[in-house]
Amino acid sequence: MFREIGIATGHCGFCREYGTVAVLVAALGEREEKVPGCERCWRATGNAANLLRLVRLGKSPKAKATPKKNRKPGRGQPSAIQAHRDGPEHGEGSSLASVADASP
C-alpha cells in the first residue's frame, strides 16, 4: 500500500493550499505515486475512512445521548423539608420564650 510517509512544504493535493504537507508514497508496480495533503484534508479523509468502515460493517453512527432530566416528585408525596412543629398543638409560642420567663 503506502511505502513511506514524509513531511514536505508544498501544495495540498486536495485543496491546493500551500504550506506544510504530509506526503504518502505508494508503490504502484514499477511507478511511484506521491500524494501530498494538508492536516485538514488528511483529517477529513480519516473521517471518510471511518464512514466507509461503518457502511462496510452495516452499522449506523451512534447519536449523541440525550441529556437526563431531573425527576419530579410524584403527587401526594411529602416534601423533603418538613414544616417547623412549633404550633398550638405543641404549646403556645417558642420554647425559648418559656425558658426565659421561668428564670427570675
Task: Domain ranges for the chain, please list them.
Answer: 2-57
**Looking at per-residue confidence, does 97 or 29 come out higher?**
29
Q: What is the pLDDT of residues 14-30, one digit of tens each?
A: 999 999 999 999 888 88
- Which pTM does this prediction carry? 0.50
Residue 104, Cβ neighbours under 10 Å: how many?
3
Q: What is the pLDDT of residues 26-69, one digit of tens each?
A: 888 888 889 999 999 999 999 999 888 888 888 766 777 777 87
- Using CB atoms within 10 A of its CB, is residue 22 exposed (0-12), middle (13-18) or buried (19+)? middle
**Looking at per-residue confidence, does 93 or 50 come out higher?**
50
User: What pLDDT was estimated at residue 54?
Assistant: 85
Strands (DSSP E) contained in the chain are 2-11, 18-28, 31-37
